[in-house]
Amino acid sequence: MPPVVKDFDVVILGGGAAGLMCAIEAGKRGRRVAVLERSERCGKKILISGGGRCNFTNLRCGPDNFISANPHFAKSALARYTPQDFIALVEKHGIRYHEKTLGQLFCDGSAREILQMLETECRAAKVEVLVSTRVLEVTKSTEFVIRTADAEFRSPALVVATGGLSIPKMGATGFGYDLARQLGLKIREPRPALVPLLLAPEDRGHYCDLAGVSAEVIASCDSARFKENMLITHRGLSGPAILQISSYWTPPAPVVIDLAPGKKLTAAFDNAHAARNLRTLNAAFREFLPNRFAGRWLELNAPESFTNAALAALERRLHGWEIHPSGTEGYEKAEVTAGGVDTDELSAKTMESRKVPGLFFIGEVVDVTGHLGGFNFQWAWASGFCAGSAV
Ligand SMILES: Cc1cc2nc3c(=O)[nH]c(=O)nc-3n(C[C@H](O)[C@H](O)[C@H](O)COP(=O)(O)OP(=O)(O)OC[C@H]3O[C@@H](n4cnc5c(N)ncnc54)[C@H](O)[C@@H]3O)c2cc1C
C-alpha cells in the first residue's frame, strides 16, 4: 500500500524546547505545522532540567554566555527573543518562579509546568504533534519529503530541532548532524560540555576518597574563568565551576584552579611572632577550605621550608593548582553537546541554511552552547522563535 501523504507548510523534527517554540510561533502565523517526535512524549529534557524545576532562562543573558566558533552568531536571535519575552509567556500561564542565584530563574513548582505551557500554546496554534514517530528518510526535490514507517510528510520548510548527543538514554541521537552532512552542511565536531571531569589516575588516588567535599574556587582554562563551587566526585571533579570550565577544556590543556579566591592563606606568617610550622599553616588552610581537603592538599603540597620564598611559592600553587584531567564523564553525564551545525552555514536572523533554502536548524544541534544557568534554554527559545517567525 502506498504511504499516506500529508502536506504541511512546515515540518519540525524534534519536540524539545526549540522545536516546540518554533512550532508555536509558526502556528500563530497561520502555518500548518507538524512536529515529529521520536520519543513517546515531547520535552523529556525539559522535565528533568534544573533538578526537576527547569532553570528556564537567565536574567543576565548576553552573547558572552555562549560558546561558538563564531561568537557573534547568537547576538541577533538573543536580541529578538529575550528572557523578558519568555518570562511574559510564563506569567501569562500563571507559572510561579523565583531567582535562585546569578539571575537563574526556576519554577517554584515543577518543570512539568513549562512543558504543559508549551503544549497548551501548541494546541492553541493548531500544531499537529506526532510522538513515537521515527523518520526513516529525508529527501529534497522541489519540497522536503520526510518518510516515516506509515506516512510521507511533504513541506516546503523543514526545521531540524533534534538536539545534541547528551543523555542517550533520554532519546538523544546524532540524527541532526547526519542530516546536515547528508544535505551538504559543515559540522563542528560535537563534544560533551557542562560535564564532570575525570582526574588522572594519580590525582584520583590522592583526592577521590574525599568525594562529596566542595569548596568555592575559580576554575580557569585559557581566558575563561568561573568562580563557583567545585565538588570532588568518586572519579574526578564536578560542581558548577568544573561543569562551566569543561565546556572550554580541550585535552591536553590543564585546568587551573584557584583554591582560595581572594584569600592569602600564608597571611598568618606576616605576623613575626607566628610559629613557622605546618601546624600554623594547617590552621590557616582550614579557615578557608573544608578540613579534610585542606589537610590532604597540604600533605601533598607541603612547602619545602618556611622561608618567605617557599611560602610565596606555596601561595602561588594554591591559587594556580593545575590539574590534567584524563577526560570527561562523556555524553552519559553531559548536560549539553558543544559543536554542531557550523553557524557559517546559517542565517543568524532566521537560522535558515544558506545552501539549502527552506532548511532550518535550531537549538542544541547548532554550534551555539550556553553556560550553565538557563542559557541553553534561552538559546532554544530564541533560535526557535526566529525560525518560527521565518518559515
Ligand atoms: C539533566 C539535564 C538538565 C538540564 N537542565 C537545564 C536547565 O535547567 N536549564 C537550561 O537552560 N538547560 C538545561 N539543560 C540543557 C537543555 O535541556 C538543552 O540545551 C535543551 O533541551 C536543548 O533543546 P533542543 O530543543 O535543542 O533539544 P532537546 O530538548 O534535546 O530536544 C530534541 C528532541 O528531538 C527528539 N529527537 C531526537 N532525534 C530525533 C529524530 N531522529 N526524529 C525526531 N525527533 C528526534 C528528542 O527525542 C527530543 O525530544 C539540561 C540538560 C540536561 C541533560
How would you write the pLDDT of the chain (391 residues) with one tens digit per residue?
778 999 999 999 999 999 999 999 999 999 999 999 999 999 999 999 999 999 999 999 999 999 999 999 999 999 999 999 999 999 999 999 999 988 999 999 999 999 999 999 999 999 999 999 999 999 998 999 999 998 999 999 999 999 999 999 888 889 999 999 999 999 999 999 999 999 999 999 999 999 999 999 999 999 999 999 999 999 999 999 999 999 999 999 999 999 999 999 888 888 878 888 889 899 999 998 999 999 999 999 999 899 999 999 999 999 999 999 999 999 999 999 999 999 999 999 999 999 999 999 999 999 999 999 999 999 999 999 999 999 9
**Rounded CA gap, 342 and 362, in Å?**
12
**Rounded CA gap, 191 and 168, in Å?**
14
**Rounded CA gap, 255 and 323, in Å?**
5
Distance from the alpha carbon of residue 13 to the mean position of ligand 1, in angstroms: 12
| 305 SS3 class | coil
Distance from the alpha carbon of residue 143 to the mean position of ligand 1, in angstroms: 27
Q: Atom 26 in ligand 1: which residue has the minimum CA distance?
A: 363
Task: Find residue 337's DSSP bridge partners.
Answer: 192
C-alpha grid cell, residue 291: 578540613
Distance from the alpha carbon of residue 161 to the mean position of ligand 1, in angstroms: 9
**Rounded CA gap, 285 and 318, in Å?**
10
pLDDT at residue number 275: 86
pLDDT at residue number 269: 84
Whether 153 is in the pocket of ligand 1, judged by its Cβ within 6 Å, is: no
Greatest Cα pair distance in the chain: 94
Q: Atom 49 in ligand 1: which residue has the minimum CA distance?
A: 16
pLDDT at residue number 270: 83
| Whether pTM exceeds 0.85 | yes
Whether 173 is in the pocket of ligand 1, judged by its Cβ within 6 Å, is: yes
pLDDT at residue number 373: 97
Whether 13 is in the pocket of ligand 1, judged by its Cβ within 6 Å, is: yes
pLDDT at residue number 38: 95
* Residue among 101, 104, 69 nearest 369 (CA): 69
Question: For residue 365, which atom of ligand 1 is closest to its CA?
Answer: 26
Strands 33-36 and 236-238: unpaired
Question: For residue 54, which atom of ligand 1 is closest to its CA?
Answer: 8
Q: Atom 4 in ligand 1: which residue has the minimum CA distance?
A: 49
Which amino acid does the sequence have at 278? L
Distance from the alpha carbon of residue 165 to the mean position of ligand 1, in angstroms: 9
Q: Atom 30 in ligand 1: which residue has the minimum CA distance?
A: 163
Contact of 336 with 244, CB cutoff 8 Å? no
280 contacts: CB under 8 Å, gap ≥ 6: 268, 269, 274
Distance from the alpha carbon of residue 16 to the mean position of ligand 1, in angstroms: 6
pLDDT at residue number 274: 82
Whether 45 is in the pocket of ligand 1, judged by its Cβ within 6 Å, is: yes
Whether 340 is in the pocket of ligand 1, judged by its Cβ within 6 Å, is: no
Candidate from 45, 118, 133, 377 with most ligand 1 atoms within 8 A of CB, to mutate: 45
Distance from the alpha carbon of residue 38 to the mean position of ligand 1, in angstroms: 12
φ and ψ at residue 105, rounded to 5 degrees: -100, 130
**Rounded CA gap, 247 and 362, in Å?**
20
Distance from the alpha carbon of residue 233 to the mean position of ligand 1, in angstroms: 25
C-alpha grid cell, residue 375: 542559557
Which amino acid does the sequence have at 333? K
C-alpha grid cell, residue 82: 529575550
**Rounded CA gap, 343 and 255, in Å?**
28
Whether 106 is in the pocket of ligand 1, judged by its Cβ within 6 Å, is: no
| 301 SS3 class | coil
